[in-house]
Amino acid sequence: MISSRRSFTVQLAVLSLLSAFLLFQVQPIIGNFILPWFGGSPGVWTTCMLFFQMVLFAGYAYAHGLTKLPPKAQWMTHGLLVLGALLALPIAPGLSWKPSGGAEPTGKILLLLMANVGLPYFVLASTSPLVQVWFHRGQGTGGSPWRLYALSNAGSLVALLSYPFFFEPRLNVLQQAQGWSVAFAGFAALSLFMSFRDWRTSPQVARVVSSTGAAPRWWQRTLWLFLPALASAQVLAGTSHVTQDVAVIPFLWVVPLSLYLITFILCFEHPRWYKPVLWASLAIPVLVLAATHRRMPDAWFDNSEFFSWLCSRLYGQDSPANELVNNFKSQLLICFSAIFLGCMTCHGELIRLKPGPERLTEFYLFLSAGGALGGAFVNLLAPRVFTTYQEWPWALLLCLLAALVAMVRVGLELRRNGKSRRLAKAYLAGMIALLSLPLILAGAGIHYHRTLEPEISLTESGGKVGGDFLNLWGFRETDRTFRLRNFYGCISIQDFPDEEVGANFRQLYHGSIAHGTQWMHPQWRLKPLSYYGAQSGIGVALDHVKNQRAVHVGVVGMGAGTVAAYGGQGHRYRFYEIDPDIVKIARTQFTYIGDLEARHGEVTVVLGDARLSMERELAAGQSQQFDVLLLDAFAGDSVPVHLLTREALEIYKRHMKPDGIIAVHASNTYLALAPMVERTAQSMGYQSSILSTPTNDPLEATDYVLVSNNTAFLKALPPFPSRFDNAKYLRIKTWTDQKHNLLEILE
């Protein structure tokens, strides 16, 4: 009997691990399929996350309802559902799902996911609570089903970490989908067997287990919903923050989600891991630091001998003390620490409120609903309410309040349980001190503005007290003259005065990355600036064709329209732009495009993903025959991989004149894109050259790859050598739609 029960437990553990592994493996697999179709935007991933959270909630709701049926009906219902999921394979979406225009893509992405992975994912989502119910039935009152939830999260963590480091470098997307389908078939067989075994071993049970404990009160159910919603919102908001505003590294989303899963594993494995005195007291200062460190005046650090000494030790003698928090590695450490400690506090308080095992499906139903609500706030509400990623400071503030409440609760429990009054008083005094910390920081910010920046008006700051607190905490931004947020990210414009020239210049930002600059004075506004100057790769390419009568230039990614400054009478410029708001901004806030049209040049704008648009043009027999094609479609510093693969280059090649020039803007803070592009071009028989423009100005320093079979043009390039060590990147493989690895080009 003991051996049979142990075998049953092991089988359930395997099923729990396998279902969780597949649950998190399918997310990047399907994401890789559809990312190229919707412009490679980070918004595609966040929309996928919203879908998976909603289906997870639906799966938990199904599991909760299923356990109310008689055991035989449970087995038959679940068996039919599992068989239906098998019939839904394979999960790879067909080409008919490709978008055909520039419409907002959220709805189509959700429909695509529902049609292709909805049912298999739904079955996987329902498995974890069902496994725990089967375990509770089989074990009776012995054993803790909550550890199985920790085990399933461990499986999710393994899936999450193994994908970018093991599966993606070794298998193409189609092979990944095929392998996943085979593993799902194994899961389905085991799930059917365990469901059948549960029915046969407990025929007398009409319901899961009769409820013996007191029903949860309304405030408990409210916290079952609020705490996971807060943790979910924090991890998703933190992911957006670090991948857009701190370090735009495409696979950084793995870290916050991994930390999120680790907190689930620790809290559900055993209550001993969560000590509110430890975790909440650590969380409070870190959450405050995460919210305020980027807005703290430099004088706070520069005037401190300790910070100056510490920074000189870490970054060198000449490094300013504010490098401690302005360094992107330090910012990542602060943000990730805040995510971990905030989620640990939320999930720790959640596990304290867990009911008896007989109510576990109801508990998981509320938990998953909270996760879905947090995702909906970040993905649906925030982009329509905020013009920046303000969901991040809101999540930090709410997590701070949750940590403070947890600490106060412990102090009150000490006093109520007859513990030392002195200890309880000291505890409550500490809570008051911690509660006042944000106010102290806000007050310091007020003092700083009053003494060093008296010219700031009440209107600009939103009032002395309120405005400075909002600015310090991150709820209010005053440094940009224009802000807009949509599916593709945060767009802003800032005007800068230049006293030497006596004119303002204007910059367009996507996130924290500048995407175009222009002088506003009529005498200077025709000059191309920043990444598109005369010495840049695109400047050299367009200078080569400027004297031709009918120049045809293609531009993937409009930005501020800077390259139009090179156009003249009779020249045709064709811009491919996925974001309609960028087109409006380029025409209304900058004059490059209007000035070209005033010089009797022709400007055409094609809305939608550039690669899909070019494919449709070729299908209609409309090869554009470009003299020069510029690829410059980067959102922030992230990489639209589908525009840089061999298949994409084949499409561009069919749109080029025989001696045409493809200029790939490969400047990136974290990735060595230029050697990869050069390797892909060489694999197609193209000649190429990397042109790294040397300059001290970060907006002028560029990396371009010029791809062409025009030998005379390549030989005449200026002597700006590549900054890349060719030996280091000899092993880079050609990127294809099916297989590409960002890790191998991480600098």
Structure confidence at residue 139 (pLDDT) = 63
Name which of 273-282, 470-479, 546-555 the model is least confident about: 470-479
CB contact set of 32 (below 8 Å; sequence gap of 6+): 168, 173, 176
164: DSSP letter: I
Could you give the CA distance from residue 526 to residue 34 in angstroms, rounded to a whole number?
39
Largest CA distance in the chain: 92
CA dihedral 35, 39, 41, 47 (to 10 degrees): -60
What pLDDT is stored for residue 592 in this prediction? 95
Lowest mean pLDDT across 130-144, 316-330, 469-483: 316-330
pLDDT digit string (tens) for 193-238?
888 887 776 654 444 444 455 677 888 889 989 999 999 999 888 8
Strand bridging mode 503-510 / 656-665:
unpaired
**Tell me: the pLDDT tens digits for 235-255?**
888 888 877 765 555 567 778
Indicate the domain borders of the chain.
1-202, 217-478, 513-745
- The DSSP 8-state label assigned to residue 671 in this structure reads B
Kindly give the interhelix angle for 646-654 and 610-619, rounded to the nearest 10 degrees. Answer: 50
Lowest mean pLDDT among 6-20, 63-77, 142-156, 643-657: 142-156
Q: Identify the weakest region by mean pLDDT among 113-122, 420-429, 578-587.
A: 420-429
Residue 513 token pair: 């990355």
Residues 613, 606 contacting (CB under 8 angstroms): yes
The whole-angstrom separation of Cα 570 and Cα 590 is 22
Percentage of the chain exceeding pLDDT 70? 74
pLDDT at 64 over 50: yes
Residue with tokens 């999450």: 160
- Which residue has better confidence, 334 or 475? 334
List all residues 6 or more positions away from 716 whose beta carbon is below 8 Å from its beta carbon.
none
Specify whether the CB–CB gap between 136 and 208 falls below 8 A. yes
Mean confidence (pLDDT) of the chain: 78
Tell me: the pLDDT tens digits for 577-616? 988 999 999 999 999 999 999 999 999 999 988 888 898 8
pLDDT digits 0-9 by tens, 150-208 = 778 888 888 888 887 888 778 888 888 888 989 999 999 999 888 888 777 665 444 44
How confident is the model at residue 319, as a pLDDT?
A: 52
Q: Over 80: is that where the pLDDT of 408 sits?
A: no
Instruction: Give how far Cα 32 sits from Cα of 40, 111, 737, Å.
Output: 9, 17, 9
Cβ(556)–Cβ(633) below 8 Å: yes
Q: Are 148 and 14 in contact (CB under 8 A)?
A: no
Q: What values do phi and psi take at 691, rounded to 5?
A: -115, 105
3 state DSSP class of 630: strand
| Single-letter code of the amino acid located at 396 | L
- CB atoms near residue 441 (< 10 Å): 20
pLDDT recorded at residue 1: 46
Residues 361-386, mean pLDDT to the nearest whole number: 84
For residue 617, CA distances in Å to 37, 112, 210, 604, 624 come to 16, 24, 65, 14, 8
Q: Which range is least confidently modeled, 102-106, 408-412, 502-506, 726-730?
A: 726-730
Question: Residue 206, SS3?
Answer: coil
Contacts 24+ apart (CB under 8 A), 593-599: 593/561, 593/564, 595/525, 595/526, 595/564, 595/565, 596/564, 596/565, 596/567, 596/571, 599/567, 599/568, 599/569
188-215: string of b/e by CB count within 10 Å (b at 16+)?
Answer: bebbbebbebbbebeeebeebbeeeeee
Q: Give the span between the Cα atoms of 404 and 352, in whole angstroms.
A: 16
Reported as a pLDDT band with limits 50, 70 and 90, residue 308 is low
Task: Return the exposure string of 598-631: e unless at least 16 CB atoms fall within 10 Å of the residue's CB, then b.
Answer: eeebebebbbbbbbbbbbebeeeeeebebbbbbb
Distance CA 349, CA 528 (A): 56
Task: Assign 3-class secondary structure to 697-734.
Answer: CCCCCEEEEEEECCHHHHHCCCCCCCCCCHHHHCCCCC
Give the count of beta carbons closer than 10 Å to the beta carbon of residue 730: 9
Asked if residue 478 has pLDDT above 80, the reply is no
| Residues 42 and 363: beta-carbon distance below 8 Å | no
**Element containing residue 184 per DSSP (H, E):** helix 173-201
Q: Which residue has the higher pLDDT, 457 or 74?
A: 74
Fold adopted by 1-202: Growth Hormone; Chain: A; (1.20.1250)
pLDDT in tens, 38-60: 766 666 777 788 888 889 889 98
Residue 109: pLDDT over 90: no
650-688 pLDDT, tens digit per residue, is 999 999 999 999 999 888 776 778 888 888 888 888 888
Q: Do domains 1-202 and 513-745 have the same CATH topology?
A: no
The structure's pTM equals 0.73
DSSP string of 355-401, one letter each residue: --GGGHHHHHHHHHHHHHHHHHIIIIIHHHH-SS-THHHHHHHHHHH
* CATH superfamily label, 513-745: Vaccinia Virus protein VP39 (3.40.50.150)
CB 430 within 8 A of CB 436: no
Nearest to 740 by CA among 673, 651, 654, 667: 673
Give residue 465's pLDDT.
36
